[in-house]
Every structure is written in structure tokens, then in C-alpha cells.
Amino acid sequence: MRFPALAALALLVSVPLAAPAAAQQSLSRSVEGLDQRDRPASFRDLSKRLMPAVVNISTSKTVAPEGMPTFPEGSPMERFNDFFGRDEDGFRREGSLGSGFVISADGYVVTNNHVIDGADEIEVNFANGRVLDAELVGRDRDTDLAVLKVKSDTPLSYVSFADSDAAEVGDWVIAIGNPFGFGGSVSAGIISARNRDLNAGRSDDFIQTDAAINRGNSGGPLFNLGGEVVGVNTAIISPTGGSVGIGFSVPSNLVNRITGELIKSGRIRRSWLGVNVQDADEALVRAYRASGKGGVIVTRITDDGPADKAKLEVGDLILSFDGQPVASVRELTRVIADTPIDKSVPVRLVRDGRARTFTVTMGELQEETPEDTTQLPDLPASANDLGADLSSLDDDIRRRYGVPKDVEGVVVTSVSARGPAYGKLVRGDVIIEINFERVATVTDTLEKVKAARANPAEPLLVRVKRRGDAGWFDQFLSVDLGK
């Protein structure tokens, strides 16, 4: 993840202390009739009402020794085993604290996955001092959410979810949790922004708040003035490790959907299209002879996946999915996540400059695909119209750049820092198409580039094979030859 200098994205886990109590009905109320534009005289009554449903999560796990030796029984150094927190077998216990909240009278509790990840034992601490053992119902690493279950002889106080889509920038919110082990801490602020993308997962859509949240607040609720949960506090950006007024919460509508599915089946099933895609800016869209300000280009198709079975191809420019326009990878990811598995959906795309519609039957996602990363070197100028030095694919070049035998085209050996391809092509790219036409030699490639310069207003569409962490994949680039 990339953030401004000195800033760090912190997950909010801490170390032990106490927490919240219990009753029989939801402590939340609808915000209808409440004027969130008016500054409340005090959060006293609201905080007092909600405290019983907010809990502290205490976890512990056994870890194997690392680095320091375990001293044998009877050794003069044996006392140092206790000093390093190790038992007689050399293992030690680690603990952490986070926050959570009760969502039902029968004991379902919501928290962050990173709060309980790897824990052998989980305890839920209430504000009245009551402590209950918890079992893990289910977790979702993508949204960093987890559901726990505690058993209680009496109904527990619980809170309800707000409609986070109705929450607006400027609305008052309060956070209750366990920052740095100080259980039952309340802080107040406003919603600072909506729809924040932290590049943390497929479902990034965070609410930003300036309410003070710190380590230990993870998994705790962000309430509106009706006492409804509008978000689950998950991360902060901080150069100091403490709150600087930039915190992030998972929106309650997403939390409600994920926790409901975890309670029902213990896991999250997500739809899968079976493609890798890249964003297409307005220039790339024009290069495809399409209209609009964005779309996504298919760069890889998984064999025998939904897209493969539907006859989608690498290079297709997707403009809409299931009737919804998609201008970016983020938008496509979200609409796919909201699409039921096995549903047949129309996909409108552009191929070879022509609009087409395909029907795709969604599959089920089994595993994540690692992201590919590239770096562009700053190399000397090249004399041709592309601003890149090219080489044909002989055995020596294939060995040098690791190009597979089934890849044909021309290799980029350097990129001019002052040429039109700077910031687009990367050393080691294999150019395989120029404006939808295959290229096999350096001469052929440069002739097609030179021909394209006759109409400098139209961007050049370049298709390359690029090496990434997961192997070679297709990448589509628009190069402005007018520069």
C-alpha cells in the first residue's frame, strides 16, 4: 500500500484491560427525526446506553521459540526461561487486545479478523466485568471481519446496523473501544470522507473519520447519533503510531452482509469471472474506437474459467457488466462481488474496434491472484518514433529476458526518458501487436509506428507480453506519439 511520506497504515490491535455489560433488546435507535446537523450538547446519554453492547476482545496463542535458546531444567540460566515468557518446553504465550460489539441477544459478536487471527483462545470482556469464552464462527480476510459466539444464560445487550449508504460526510459519529488497553473509551468526531480505497482488498470502500481511534480500537463500532453501527473501525494512518485524525471503518452495509453470511455458513463465497484486468483511460478507450472516459481491458484469462467458457479474449475492452457501466477495475471488482454465483450476466465489450455482448455464467472464487508489479528504468534516448530501443527475439535475447518459446514479437531493451513510450513500456516487454496488428520484427514494428504518426491525434495501441510475479501476462498501453 502507498501512503504519504512518514504515514503508516496501522491495524488497531493492543494489549490487555477491561470492558462493557448486558440487557435484552437492541440499544440502537433509528436516526429518523434526529438532526445530525445540530451539534449535540453531550454524548453522555448515548455513550451510557451503548456501553453494554461494546466489548473488549482478548486473545492468546502459543508460539515456538525464536532466536534465544531454552535453558534446561536445573541449569543456572533456567530462570531466564521465565524472563523470556517461556514454559518448560520452550514455548511462550502471546496475547493481544482489540474491540468488538454484540449484534444479537444470543451472543454473536463482530470484530476484525486481524484481532483474532492465529489465536488459540478468545475471551470477550464486558463493561460490567463479565468475561465469556468465545468460539470463532467465521472470518473473512478480504474485508478483515470476523464473527464470534459466546454463550450466556441471559440475553445480551446488542446494537443494530445503520444504513451506511445514508451516512454523509459531516455526520456526527462516536467510537467506543479499547485503545491501548483502556477499555470503554469513547471518542467523537465526524465522517470525514466516503468510499476510501486503501488497496487492502477487493472490497475496499472505507468510511474515513476524524474520531480518535488507536491501536486496540480494531473491531470496535463507529456509531451514528441513533446508536446504530455505521462502521467497524479497522485502520489508521499515523506517523506516530497514535491517532492523528485519519481513521478508517468498514461500512455497516458491507459488515451486515458479510457477518450474515458468516453466521449462516461460516465462510464467504464470492463470484469469480476468471480474468486479470487493467484500467483503460480515455486515451485507451479512444484507441479501441470506443467512447467514454474509462473501462477495463482483459489482460489474462484463466483456462476453463467463466470468462474462458464465455469466449472472452485477452484484449477485450469491457464497458459494462450486468447492465452496469464499469469505468475502472475497482468498479468491476465491486459489481462482480455483488453478483450471485451461477448467475448469467451480459458483458458489453469492444473487440477489434467493434461492440459486442457476451453472456457469462459466474463461477466461485477459490483463491486470490497475486498482483504484478513493474519498474521503469530511466535510460538514454532512443532515436525512433517510439522512443524505445527494440531487438528481435533470438535465442540469446530469450535467455537474457526469460522470454518463453511460445511468445513472438520484439523485445524492448531500453526506454528513452524523453520519448513518447516513457512511463508506458518497460525494459523486457515483448511487443506483440500495434493497433490490433501482429508484429514479428523490429522493422515491421517501427513501420507500423511510423504509419501511426500520420494521425498523431489518435493514440497508438500497443499490446505487450510482460513478466510479472505470476508469470507472463498481456498488457495494453496507449502511447501518445504527438509528444
The one-letter amino acid at 307: A
Question: Cell numbers at residue 328, please?
Answer: 475502472
392 annotated as belonging to a binding site for a ligand: no
Active site residues: 114, 144, 218
**218 annotated to a ligand binding site:** yes
Number of C-alpha atoms within 13 angstroms, CB side, residue 295?
27
Determine contact, residues 56/116, Cβ cutoff 8 Å.
no
Burial degree of 152 (CB within 10 A; 0-12, 13-18, 19+):
middle
45 three-state secondary structure:
helix
Identify the residue whose cell numbers are 479512444: 286
CA dist 50 → 5, 20, 174, 223 (Å): 37, 9, 10, 9
Residue 39 backbone phi and psi in degrees, to 5: -70, 125
Gap between the Cα atoms of 167 and 160, Å rounded: 15
Alpha-carbon gap, residue 157 to 164, rounded angstroms: 22
Q: Which three cell numbers stand for residue 307?
A: 470468462
On whether the CB atoms of residues 22 and 152 are closer than 8 A, the answer is: yes
Residue 91 backbone phi and psi in degrees, to 5:
-90, 160
Report helix, strand or coil for 460.
Answer: strand
Strands (E), 354-409: 354-361, 363-364, 388-392
Angle made by CA atoms 156, 262, 121, in degrees to the nearest 5: 65
Q: Rounded distance, CA 446 to CA 150, Å?
A: 69
Q: Known binder of ligand: residue 214?
A: no
Residue written as grid cell 536445573: 74
* 96 annotated as ligand-binding: no
Q: What is the DSSP letter of 208?
A: E
Torsion of CA 263, 265, 266, 271, to 10 degrees: -110
Annotated binding residue 144: yes
Query: Considering only CA atoms, which of 19, 91, 13, 92 is closest in space to residue 59?
Result: 13
- Strand partners of residue 69: none
Helix (H) or strand (E) holding 444: helix 442-452
Q: Which residue ranges are tagged as binding site for substrate?
A: 114, 144, 216-218
Q: Which residue ranges are tagged as binding site?
A: 114, 144, 216-218
